[in-house]
Amino acid sequence: SSNTFAEIENYVKVKDKGATPAMFGVAKGKNVILISMESTQSFVINRKINGEEITPFLNSFIKESYYFDQFYHQTGQGKTSDAEFTIENSLYPLDRGSVFFTHFNNEYTATPEILKDYGYFSAVFHSNDKTFWNRDLMYPSLGYDRYYHQQDFVGTQQNSVGWGLKDKDFFTQSISYLKELPQPFYTKFITLTNHFPFTIDPKDRLIEEYNSESEIVNRYFPTVRYTDEAIKYFIQRLKEEGLYDNTIIVIYGDHYGISENHNAAMAQFLDKNEITPVDSMQLQRVPLIIHIPKQSGQTISKVSGQIDVKPTLLHLLGISTTHSTEFGTDLFIKEKDPLVVMRDGSFITNDYVYTKNICYAKQTGEPIEEQLCEPYKQKAKFELRNSDKLIYGDLLRFDPSNKRNTGTMTTILE
């Protein structure tokens, strides 16, 4: 009901909704490009196998960007769609299923919808079937103007793998649409090649496979390397089209690609005896890279998550989020005690990791007194519960800042 909405609104209002003055509006009026990197985890960044870098392009791009090296995915069963949901709404995904399927008809105040008021045109590019993850029905609810999907691309046996175009062909074909869009634009590009089970054409393999007992882990590195090359090419094309200098580029990993079934191979890669519960949590880090034209790079090690992207991006574009109903915090704010909550109720703070009902010291990986985690545990539960209530009750209908508000007076009074 609207009462529940008011309670939740009061809760999110007391959260730190501020922005860093030095960063607020630095990218005002710029185009936005989001790149969702399929299954890309942070452990590939600045690492080599067989003497070769896994992500040479990203490693260099990070040096001229803001790079968040303690950034976690917060996805559940909705995988890529959950990442999209959390990144653009600053709400948690649901504990089961995908919000894209179960609540596509809700009222949302997603980033593309907000940016419409600032003259932005918004579009998504993804070469899979438009109905996958119910995207064709969900995107209009998020405020997207256009969805370029499988039917907008030319797929052949040569240029495709798995569910769609190879990333490089995907970017090549997307660029011709992109350069015709009205500006400023807000766009999202969802890559696909680095998807389980990580198969690529041998001629697209730029590095050798890894050598472990897991075929999946072995193949993962060449497909990550392939996507890295495709993004390099895309950035180059943006420069050639004169779009690079007036565009803010946000690159994020959507969720893990290597599950706990491959712990032995991961232990080998990380040079550890075993993968502990704390290691497993740390493996949930995904890259977040924000490139702002004419700003130099910096690595920021704040504990953060996908839920924080929306307010951060809006602030960079000079848009205040003081009245937004969202759970994230601007990534550029120095928080005393940051907390990242995962969809299953586990969490990470500066000092603690809580997972599978056990509290651990982050430094040592040793179990510690449950009590130390208790206050965070309560907060984590509260966050998830309130976010769920918003979605299950379609409560953003009652948000007065929601322009497309369809809640009528009668609904509000009941």
Would you please indicate which residues are annotated as catalytic (active-site) residues? 80
Residue 73 touches which of Mn ion, ligand GP9, none (Cβ within 5-8 Å per kind): none
Phi, psi of 30 (to 5 degrees): -75, 155
Q: 77 or 378: whose CB is closer to ligand GP9?
A: 77
Residues 159-218, interacting with ligand GP9 (CB under 6 A): 163, 190, 192, 195
Q: What does the alpha-carbon distance between residue 295 and residue 244 come to, in Å, rounded to a whole number?
A: 13
Residue 233 touches which of Mn ion, ligand GP9, none (Cβ within 5-8 Å per kind): none
Q: Which residue is nearest to Mn ion (CB)?
A: 80
3-state secondary structure of 199: coil
Residue keyed to tokens 């369809």: 406
User: In this structure, are residues 314 and 354 in contact, taking their beta carbons and an 8 Å threshold?
Assistant: no
Residue keyed to tokens 């003081």: 322
Cβ of residue 255: shortest distance to ligand GP9, in angstroms?
A: 7
Q: What does the alpha-carbon distance between residue 186 and residue 172 come to, in Å, rounded to a whole number?
A: 18
Q: 79 or 291: whose CB is closer to Mn ion?
A: 79
Encoded amino acid at 313, one letter: L
| CA quadruple 118, 121, 126, 132: dihedral, nearest 10 | 80
Residue 128 touches which of ligand GP9, Mn ion, none (Cβ within 5-8 Å per kind): ligand GP9
- Cβ neighbours of residue 242 under 8 Å, at least 6 residues apart? none
Size of the site for ligand GP9 (CB under 6 A): 10
Q: Look at strands 66-68 and 247-253 and give their pairing.
A: unpaired
Stretch of 104-112, 124-132, 153-161, 383-391 contacting ligand GP9, by CB under 6 A:
124-132
Cβ of residue 55: shortest distance to ligand GP9, in angstroms?
A: 19
Q: Which residue is nearest to ligand GP9 (CB)?
A: 79
Residues 94-113, interacting with ligand GP9 (CB under 6 A): none
Residue 11 touches which of ligand GP9, Mn ion, none (Cβ within 5-8 Å per kind): none
Binding of residue 128 to ligand GP9 (CB under 6 A) = yes
Cβ of residue 23: shortest distance to Mn ion, in angstroms?
A: 29
Q: 30 or 79: whose CB is closer to ligand GP9?
A: 79
Following DSSP, what letter does each residue of 142-177 receive, concatenated? HT-SEEE-GGGS---TTTEETTEE-HHHHHHHHHHH
Maximum distance among all alpha carbons in the chain? Answer: 66
Q: What does the alpha-carbon distance between residue 274 and residue 296 come to, in Å, rounded to a whole number?
A: 38
User: In this structure, are residues 258 and 81 in contact, taking their beta carbons and an 8 Å threshold?
Assistant: no
Binding of residue 232 to ligand GP9 (CB under 6 A) = no
Q: 257 or 311: whose CB is closer to ligand GP9?
A: 257
Binding of residue 79 to ligand GP9 (CB under 6 A) = yes
Q: Look at strands 146-148 and 121-125 and give their pairing.
A: parallel
Site string for ligand GP9, 23-62 (x = CB under 6 A): ---------------x------------------------
Cβ of residue 133: shortest distance to ligand GP9, in angstroms?
A: 6
Q: 223 or 321: whose CB is closer to Mn ion?
A: 223
Residue keyed to tokens 């990986």: 365
Cβ of residue 290: shortest distance to Mn ion, in angstroms?
A: 20
Cβ of residue 283: shortest distance to Mn ion, in angstroms?
A: 16
Tokens of 238: 């943006």
Residues that bind Mn ion in the complex, under the rule CB under 5 A: 38, 79-80, 254
Side-chain-facing half-sphere of 298: CA atoms under 13 Å: 9
3-state secondary structure of 14: helix
* CA-based nearest residue to 263, from 212, 310, 314: 212
Cβ of residue 126: shortest distance to Mn ion, in angstroms?
A: 11
Q: 79 or 225: whose CB is closer to Mn ion?
A: 79
Q: 38 or 308: whose CB is closer to Mn ion?
A: 38
Q: What does the alpha-carbon distance between residue 169 and residue 155 come to, in Å, rounded to a whole number?
A: 9
- Contacts to ligand GP9 by CB under 6 A: 38, 79-80, 126, 128, 132, 163, 190, 192, 195
